[in-house]
Amino acid sequence: FCPPRLPKCVCSASKEIEILTRKPIVPTEAEIEENPRARSAKLRACLKLT
């Protein structure tokens, strides 16, 4: 794997995951009203390629 400080991949590694959501999905106001514990929830999604 490439060092994190490099701006570009130099090792030609294949992707292991594909990110499906750029930003975390947060609950709607209606969902928070129905379930107050959902207020802090953040959903992130990716797809495993290997």
pLDDT digits (tens, 9 = 90+) for 1-50: 677 777 777 777 777 888 999 999 999 999 999 999 999 999 999 998 87
Domain ranges of the chain: 18-48
Q: Where are the alpha helices (DSSP H) in the chain?
A: 29-34
Question: What is the reported pTM?
Answer: 0.61
Q: Select from 28, 19, 25 the least CA-distant residue to 47.
A: 19
User: pLDDT at position 1, please?
Assistant: 65
User: pLDDT at position 31, please?
Assistant: 98
